[in-house]
Amino acid sequence: MAKKRSAASVRAIAEKAGLSLGAVSMAMRGDPSIPEKTRERVKKIADELGYRRNARVSELMALLKQQSLSDGHEVLAFVLPVKKTDSGMEHYIRTSIQHAKKRAEERGYGIEVFELEEKGITPQRLGKIIEARGIRAALFGPHREVTGAVAINPDKLAMVALGYSVVEPPMHRVVIDHYRNIHLAMAQLTARGYKKIGLMLEQETDSRARDLITSGFWDVGRPFPKSQRIEPYVGPPEKAVIKKWRTKTKPDAIIGYGGRWYELLQEIEAFDAESLGYVFLDHFEVEGVSAAGVPYLNGMLTEVAVDQLVSALQVNEFGVPAYPRTTSVPCAWQDGPTVRELSAPVVDPLFFLPIGSATK
């Protein structure tokens, strides 16, 4: 029977490594100010001695640090590769900034916003500003490109991205669960008696979601009879093309990304919930109209990202992670007059399971 190793102290590790207690503690946390070879040597010694980190002590130290920062507010960078205005993402960016500031303050931090499209702010200059101000963590907003890069040195930064668009440098990211949301929208429509469900969105929208919207749509539609499956409309919001698509496919319900598609469809031919149901994804801003849909929780998305960023700081997780994680945030159904009343239970169309609170 193998002999059980006794728990070693940080002092024992320091004595064997020939380092100070502070240096060992920093090395064990992966602090980048300690050379990588030294960090690896300390961790090897700790493993040999049977050292086990005390999770409760670590939590207490993180709390004490957070409380000590509440007066001085360590600052987190919120890097926007696009302008806050005139980017086509104003709603998303405005919501994200508001919630980032709120969550950071709750966690004892401050937020400073940097716009890369501001005059004179290049990624290289931003990197120097961040380093000069002692900023150790950065949240990255959406990029103008579907797959974009921010040429900043990541070695001394904890990093989390919102969405999929910032792909360089590699980092953890928090995204909307597009695949699950399209399941939810279609489950609600089928429970209301709609048979031929269509989908309308621009190509860039689907590309930014890594094609998860259309792939989720096709997956849900697989069990449907062939006569009820409709090719989604993925293209520009142009009346003539949309009218041709609708005449050809004859949907009795449409899922549209935002409110613009609803307005175009009404301009082509007025409709109500009985003749053509409409469900929105993301957000719906049509004056005087409320709609059923799946509003994207961009505020919650940002708050989850800030929490991940703070967690990375507390364990000194800097630089490009060995295994970047993607956290998906699901959304909830919002009822509205653009669809019929429920005529059957709401059931996941792929797994044939009830969708709890989403039935209301």
Domains and CATH numbers, the chain: 10-53 (no CATH), 67-170+299-329 (3.40.50.2300), 178-296+332-359 (3.40.50.2300)
Average pLDDT of the segment spanning 229-246:
94
pLDDT exceeds cutoff 70 at 154: yes
User: Which pLDDT belongs to residue 69?
Assistant: 46
User: Which pLDDT belongs to residue 5?
Assistant: 39
When mean pLDDT is compared across 13-27, 49-63, 273-287, the lowest value belongs to 49-63
Average pLDDT of the segment spanning 127-133:
88
Q: What is the pTM of this model?
A: 0.77
| Better-scored residue on pLDDT, 31 or 169 | 169
User: Which pLDDT belongs to residue 106?
Assistant: 92
| Better-scored residue on pLDDT, 28 or 86 | 28
pLDDT exceeds cutoff 80 at 64: no
User: Which pLDDT belongs to residue 116?
Assistant: 83
Under a CB-based contact definition with an 8 Å cutoff, are residues 319 and 32 in contact?
yes
Residue 117 CB neighbours (<10 A): 13
pLDDT in tens, 181-203: 999 999 999 999 999 999 999 99
User: Which pLDDT belongs to residue 85?
Assistant: 64
pLDDT in tens, 210-226: 999 999 999 988 889 99
pLDDT exceeds cutoff 70 at 88: no
Binning pLDDT at 50, 70 and 90, where does residue 2 land?
Answer: very low
Residue 133: which residues within 8 A CB-CB, separation 6 or more?
75, 112
| Better-scored residue on pLDDT, 96 or 33 | 96
**Which residues are registered as beta bridge partners of 315?**
none
**What mean pLDDT, rounded, does the chain reach?**
85
Instruction: Tell me the C-alpha distance between 319 and 138, whole Å.
Output: 11
Under a CB-based contact definition with an 8 Å cutoff, are residues 143 and 82 in contact?
yes
